[in-house]
């Protein structure tokens, strides 16, 4: 572990973990703290950020786009990014460091979606927004084989649930999925909820089930579109999953990888030693974050180039 990562873990253990030990979820406090602590990096040279927060925007959120708009876009990837935050806080603004780092490394236009948050909008609002955004991208002319669905934490679970729902609906599927520390089991039944409690510098295990209720409301925690670890994962595109070895949510990643492989899905599961939850968001400060994003960008370029090289007749719609 680098000294930069050790410092980040110390900070998270002092500043973030104590809030997860509380017996109730304070939604407004979480939102206020996140908005105060947002570090907004500069837009990378050669790129532009387009903020789309108008009431009538069909795709609310932020587009990170390359300035070389006249260059060929035939094989340029497009990332649909779904931010984390337990489904009730954070935003595209809070995740710019991760999105900028991933998009520029993958040389991909990236839409960071501003999906609706709980408790004002409980399940399935976030899923509905992610599905609508993907379908809007396709309807506007973006080839499905150039799109990669990505997300972290709750957004990682949402990305996986969106892939499952697209398959079930018969939509053409994207080229792949990238899941950073995904939260895939809102029933909080993974063994590492207990075994890594105390080792995780960010979360206490007992906080996971409480946070889930903010989003679920009356929905069963094992609903496959809310907790895709319980979904049938056959027919999904290749997945890259990154998680830290000491996370309480580690088993949310490992079980998805096991189930997906058993269903015939290509999965690259990377368990990084002693990394905190969604350490990729600390790019460019933490070297491990930079290396993780390098790996994810390579995956994105690989799966989109492979799908783009296939004849259209070979790109099937999963059923």
What per-residue confidence (pLDDT) applies to 17? 83
Burial 204-235 (b: 16+ CB within 10 A, else e): bbbbbbbbbbbbbeebebebbbbbbbbbebeb
Q: Is residue 293 part of a domain?
A: yes
- Residue range 175-184: mean pLDDT, rounded: 98
- Residue range 73-89: mean pLDDT, rounded: 90
Sign (positive/negative) of CA torsion 178, 243, 40, 42?
A: negative
* pLDDT over 50 (residue 312): no
**Identified catalytic residue from 91, 181, 247, 259:** 247
| 51 is annotated as an active-site residue | no
Q: Is residue 24 part of a domain?
A: yes
Q: Is residue 317 part of a domain?
A: no
What HEC string does the chain produce? Answer: CCHHHHHHHHHHHHHCHHHHCCCCCCHHHHHHHHHHHCCCCCCCCCEEEEEECCCCCCCCEEEEEECCCCCCCCCCCEEEEECCCCCCCCCCHHHHHHHHHHHHHHCCEEEEECCCCCCCCCCCHHHHHHHHHHHHHHHCCCCHHHEEEEEECHHHHHHHHHHHHHHHHCCCCCCEEEEECCCCCCCCCCCHHHHCCCCCCCCCCHHHHHHHHHHHCCCCCCCCCCCHHHCCCCCCCCEEEEEECCCCCHHHHHHHHHHHHHCCCCEEEEEECCCCCCHHHHCCCCHHHHHHHHHHHHHHHHHHHHHHHCCHHHCCCCC
**Identified catalytic residue from 91, 97, 146, 153:** 153
Model pTM? 0.94
For 46: left if phi > 0, alpha if psi spans -120 to 50, otherwise beta; the answer is: left
Full residue range of the structural domain in which residue 157 is found:
3-309
Confidence band of 15 (pLDDT split at 50, 70, 90): confident
How many other C-beta atoms are found inside a 10 Å radius of the C-beta of residue 66?
17
Nearest to 114 by CA among 83, 153, 158: 83
Q: Is residue 318 part of a domain?
A: no
What per-residue confidence (pLDDT) applies to 313? 38
What per-residue confidence (pLDDT) applies to 20? 82
Q: Is residue 314 part of a domain?
A: no
Q: What is the pLDDT of residues 143-166, one digit of tens each?
A: 999 999 999 999 999 999 999 999
Residue 209's CATH number:
3.40.50.1820
What per-residue confidence (pLDDT) applies to 44? 94
- Residue range 225-238: mean pLDDT, rounded: 98
Confidence band of 219 (pLDDT split at 50, 70, 90): very high
Q: Is residue 71 part of a domain?
A: yes
Rounded-to-integer distance, Cα 300 and Cα 51, Å: 24
Q: What is the pLDDT of residues 291-309, one digit of tens each?
A: 999 999 999 999 999 766 6
Q: Output the CA–CA distances (angstroms, integers) from residue 315 to 75, 93, 189, 200, 221, in the order listed.
A: 15, 35, 36, 41, 34
CB-based contact 250:244 (threshold 8 Å): yes
Confidence band of 37 (pLDDT split at 50, 70, 90): low
| 57 is annotated as an active-site residue | no
* pLDDT over 70 (residue 287): yes
Q: Quote the number of domains for the chain.
A: 1
Q: Is residue 316 part of a domain?
A: no
Q: What is the pLDDT of residues 70-79, one digit of tens each?
A: 555 556 899 9
**Identified catalytic residue from 91, 277, 288, 295:** 277
Q: Is residue 230 part of a domain?
A: yes
CB-based contact 145:307 (threshold 8 Å): yes
């Amino acid at each position: 572990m680098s000294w930069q990562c050790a410092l980040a873990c110390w900070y998270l253990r002092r500043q973030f973990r104590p809030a997860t030990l509380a017996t109730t979820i304070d939604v407004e406090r979480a939102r206020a703290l996140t908005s105060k602590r947002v570090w907004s990096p500069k837009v990378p040279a050669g790129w532009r950020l387009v903020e789309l927060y108008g009431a009538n925007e069909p795709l609310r959120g932020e587009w990170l786009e390359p300035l070389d708009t006249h260059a060929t876009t035939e094989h340029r990837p497009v990332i649909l990014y779904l931010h984390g935050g337990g489904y009730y806080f954070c935003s595209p603004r809070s995740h710019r460091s991760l999105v900028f780092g991933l998009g520029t490394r993958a040389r991909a236009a990236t839409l960071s979606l501003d999906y609706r948050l709980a408790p004002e909008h409980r399940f399935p609002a976030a899923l509905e927004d992610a599905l609508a955004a993907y379908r809007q991208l396709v309807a506007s002319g973006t080839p499905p084989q150039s799109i990669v669905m990505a997300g972290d934490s709750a957004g990682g679970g949402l990305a996986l649930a969106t892939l499952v729902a697209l398959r079930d609906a018969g939509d053409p599927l994207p080229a792949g999925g990238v899941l950073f520390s995904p939260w895939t089991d809102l029933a909080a039944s993974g063994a590492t909820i207990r075994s890594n409690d105390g080792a995780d510098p960010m979360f206490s295990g007992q906080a996971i089930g409480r946070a889930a209720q903010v989003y679920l409301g009356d929905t069963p925690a094992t609903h496959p579109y809310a907790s895709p670890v319980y979904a049938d994962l056959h027919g999904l595109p290749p997945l890259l999953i990154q998680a830290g070895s000491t996370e309480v949510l580690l088993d949310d990643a490992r079980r998805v990888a096991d189930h997906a492989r058993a269903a015939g899905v290509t999965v690259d599961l990377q368990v990084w030693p002693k990394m905190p939850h969604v350490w990729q968001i600390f790019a460019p400060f933490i070297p491990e974050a930079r290396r993780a994003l390098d790996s994810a960008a390579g995956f994105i370029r690989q799966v989109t180039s492979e799908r783009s090289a296939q004849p259209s007749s070979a790109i099937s719609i999963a059923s």
